[in-house]
Amino acid sequence: MGINLNPFTWWNGATIGTWFGLRGKTRMGEDSLGNVYYEGGRDTAGRARRWVIYAGANDASRIPPEWFSWMHHQIDGVPDAAMPKHRAWQKPAVPNLTGTALAYRPPGALEKGGKRAVSTGDYEAWTPDA
């Protein structure tokens, strides 16, 4: 979307009110997806308030696990300093793919042709008289 719609459409990123609300807050970092994280002020429990400005669609599943733990006060420091280094076997975080062309569809789904595998004979249907 263009710059003209950004101030009014919350689903395309931060609105102009959010940007004004972030004045005086500290930019804490940026993740691999381009989301930017801020901290400042206190909530009603006395903990630091934390925000994320999404790069793209506002979808909470687009927050990587290490930043999710920071957002929910599971770790105190930013993930770059507080988390251990990534291991070679770790895969990158994937956002929720429900509703997209990449969503999982089982073999019997209509999008995959609607043909299920034939039962193997080890299944016995329930009947109310039995």
Handedness of CA 98, 101, 106, 110 (dihedral sign): positive
Using CA atoms, how far apart are residues 82 and 32, in angstroms rounded to an integer?
Answer: 16
Quick check: 53 and 35 in contact, CB under 8 A? yes
Residue 40 in any domain: the answer is: yes
Residue 3 in any domain: the answer is: no
Residue 61 in any domain: the answer is: yes
Q: Please state, in angstroms and as integers, the Cα–Cα distance from residue 93 to each residue in 7, 62, 117, 127, following that order.
A: 29, 8, 32, 46
Q: Say what the pTM is.
A: 0.64
Residue 121 in any domain: the answer is: no
Residue 127 in any domain: the answer is: no
Q: Please state, in angstroms and as integers, the Cα–Cα distance from residue 68 to each residue in 4, 27, 72, 89, following that order.
A: 30, 16, 6, 20
Residue 107 in any domain: the answer is: no
Residue 72 in any domain: the answer is: yes
Residue 117 in any domain: the answer is: no
Which tokens hold the place of 6?
């950004």
pLDDT in tens, 36-59: 999 988 889 899 999 898 888 788
| pLDDT tens, per residue, the chain with 130 residues | 455 555 555 556 677 777 777 888 889 999 888 899 999 888 898 999 998 988 887 888 888 888 999 999 998 888 888 878 888 998 887 888 888 888 988 888 888 777 877 777 777 888 898 6
Quick check: 93 and 65 in contact, CB under 8 A? yes
Find the helix or strand (DSSP H, E) in which 40 lies.
Answer: strand 36-42
Query: For the chain, what is the domain count?
Result: 1
Question: In which domain, by residue range, is 76 found?
Answer: 10-93
